[in-house]
Amino acid sequence: MKIAIDAMGGDHAPEVVIQGVEQARDELSDVEFLLYGDENKIRPLLKNDSHMTIIHTTEKVNSDDEPVRAIRSKKQASMVLAAQAVKSGEADAMISLGSTGALLAAGLFIVGRIKGIDRPGLMPTLPTTDGAGFVMLDVGANAENRASQLVQYAIMGDFYARDLRGLKAPKVGLLNNGTEANKGNELHQETYKLLSELDGINFVGNVESDSILKHSADVVVTDGFTGNAVLKTIEGSARTILGLIKHAIMDNGMKAKLGGLLLKDGIKSVANTFDVSSYGGAVLLGLKAPVVKAHGGADAKAVYYTVKQVQQMVANGTVQKVVEYFQAHPAAKA
């Protein structure tokens, strides 16, 4: 198994990328890593080059590059070369910490879509209060989606939850503005109907955004616009509230500081619940191979978990199952 790594993407590249990949390499004897990036920077960071191949390039996609233009014009960028390795079959999957938009463009224009899926969706794993977590898609690969596309997200999310999260009958829910079947606009009513009629998935109906953190579903299906808004609201709310608590500890004298000290472990465990780096990166589901985006600010630990996630996706043939499903079920196509 070979995994292509865009070693130059992200805020702390290539340091955290190399650290995380090496940590995973030391555990996974069956994986070869293709590291795309500046050899002069990468080589000195490597503890040893076992199972590692550096493909030298100095070009890279920047976070403020216009995504499609960058992918088309920067032919030697580390992200582009990694995607081409997947396209040519040289690598089985790729990981990048770089720009989400550029990675989506590289996925669409270089790696290519699975036949029958016209709009891949971006799927992160998010926290629940019981620690189990859930996946949600699409969270922003698209600004708009059709009902048939949401059905495809349900199918792909279901495969992922079974294969990667070990669930027998993942609860699939449609994000809506109420739990009743007739809720939402035309898109949601149509999607609800299609999901109700779909064989093989455990559709639990509509779920609301105030219940998803309480694990109302294992797979939350939504259009890319709403999913993006909900994802950013969760991130913003968590950051805001934990920040306010930190201020409450620091700005209220010795008594509060002592309280904070005594509660440190507890608050840390809450912060950890909302730190989903151990779940890996966000998967661009619908492409012909696993293309996974780790957070731009990810640390080595998050990279390590992302490598393990991708290794498991390749080992389980999750994408291949999706391909076969859509071959066998042409009616599910958009």
* Residues at the interface with a copy of itself (CB under 8 A): 129, 140, 143-144, 175, 177, 183-186, 188, 208-214, 224-226, 228-230, 232-245, 248-249, 252, 255-256, 258-267, 269-270, 273-274
Q: CB of residue 21 vs a copy of itself: minimum separation in angstroms?
A: 29
Q: Distance (Å, rounded) from C-alpha 52 to C-alpha 50? A: 5
Q: CB of 231: closest distance to a copy of itself in angstroms?
A: 8
Quick one: 169 or 248, whose CB is closer to a copy of itself?
248
DSSP H stretches of helix in 108-170? 147-163
Check residue 243 and report its DSSP letter: H
> What spatial distance separates the first Cα and last Cα of the chain, rounded to whole Å?
32
CB of 35 to a copy of itself, least distance (A): 31
CB of 189 to a copy of itself, least distance (A): 9
Residue number with CB closer to a copy of itself (186 or 197): 186
Quote the CA–CA distance of 257 and 332 in Å, as a whole number: 57
**What are the residues whose beta carbons fall under 8 Å from the beta carbon of 156, sequence distance 6 or more?**
117, 121, 123, 137, 285, 286, 322
Which CB sits closer to a copy of itself, 226 or 309? Answer: 226
Q: Return the number of the residue (191 or 318) whose C-beta is nearest a copy of itself.
A: 191
What CA–CA distance (Å, rounded) separates 60 from 56? 11
Q: Which is nearer to a copy of itself, 132 or 258 (CB)?
A: 258
Question: Could you tell me the sign of the dihedral formed by the alpha carbons of 108, 176, 322, 197, in that order?
Answer: negative
Shortest Å distance, C-beta 254 to a copy of itself: 9
